[in-house]
Amino acid sequence: MTCPRRRPALRAVGLVTAALVGLGPVALAGSAAAVEPERSTALTEPPPAAVLPSTTSPEYFDTPRDLTGCPYRTSPPAPVDESEVPLPGQTSPAPLPVPESPVGGDALAGCVVVAPDGFEVSRDVTASAWMISDLDTGEVVAARDPHGRYRPASLIKTLLATVALDTLDADRVIEVTDEDLLGAEGSLVGIGPGGQYSVDRLVRGLLMSSGNDAALVLARRMGGVDKTLEAMNAHAAGLGAVGTHAATVNGLDGPGMMSTAYDLSLIFRDAMTRPGFARVVGTEMSGFPGYPAGEGAGAPDPAAAPALTGPTTRADGTVVNPGFVLANDNQLLYNYPGAIGGKTGFTDDARHTFIGAAERDGRRLAVVLLDGTRVPASPWEQAALLLDAGFDTDESVGRLVTGPPAGPGAGTEHLASGPLGSVGTAAQLDPSSTRGSVLVRYGPWLAVGAAGLVVVAGAVMALRSRR
């Protein structure tokens, strides 16, 4: 079956596009840009009856869901395509167990808005689930359906980046092969065979441009996709993200893929304790190498005037794709005073997802949105509205938990009381390193808090288009 509205593989064109059309930094096309997906391609099969209107109509992407009765307490909304059909011989993982008591506090139990008195939620905020939290104290300022399970799309790359930064030397240079790129589809940063990229550059392509090709290259340098998924899920479990299961390393939909606004707040908060991560998500523009390596393929200086160059041919006949300037696809960075980073995401099943963070008067807040729409406001604009409301109050309704629940019914026993340290640091998957193994790092966490966590077995299924 052809995935509905399959997005072509897009490569970054950086400042060249901006120079041609005279756009400012907000419109830079440094990646597969955040464009509302086309809606003219008909499905070859009808979507399941349980979902919203057919994806052949704009209403599917623009209609908020009815959360009466908290329908997504155990599993995400029904998929609209075959992205979550398991491969022959495999089965879909069972939904993760739901804690008896809501992690983070009793106020976070429901799926309606929970907020301090006087907190006003704009009607333009239409995401099914969202959470505002303090990056430093761990306090939850306000939330809607914080433990409801939805698909994270590319927000899961936050978890992959954490594992990669804890596993690989940021200065290590990787020469990419054709095999490294097998299965890369959807939004691509523009990695090519023969190119040489430092781990830091790959993380930039992963987070700034949401590069699915960068995700696969990093995973294959950490022992393969399956081992990387094990490490990602172990890290999530160690943090206490008990509603999160990564089915793919890049956020494309797969059997059992799910997370929550609460879990992603926890995961992002942990990631932001790593200087390398915080620096990348807060970067507006960065040079990115072309391929194959050598003369003409270097990463350009983002501050330099854009050069209108295309592929060149060396004396030996080798065609060189030149380096380019990568622009961060997080529009909050360009439009919201004090913005310090975030991540964008989109798949047909996940709809729009977003993380944004900002600092004001020494206070750092982050907001996560899941299962969102672009009408009446885009995800970054909805995030901005929630951040404004969050900065206007100094009260809270719960707190992020640091570490797995202590046992059945655990809810607030391990509350964050200050800046988050290195909790559940990622497993070392690279056999050439001496940082330790998955079992060494995660055995204690898994024994306590990961019962019931089902890890993806076998190859990742056919991936679907994403943003």
Alpha-carbon span 305 to 19, nearest angstrom: 9
Q: Which of 128, 154, 187, 209 is catalytic?
A: 154
Catalytic residue flag (residue 343): no
Nearest in space to 83 (alpha carbons), one of 452, 350, 374: 350
Cβ within 8 Å of residue 35, ≥6 positions away = 467
Catalytic residue flag (residue 417): no
Q: Which of 31, 83, 133, 157 is catalytic?
A: 157
Catalytic residue flag (residue 210): yes
Q: Which of 187, 210, 259, 465 is catalytic?
A: 210
Positions annotated as catalytic residues are 154, 157, 210
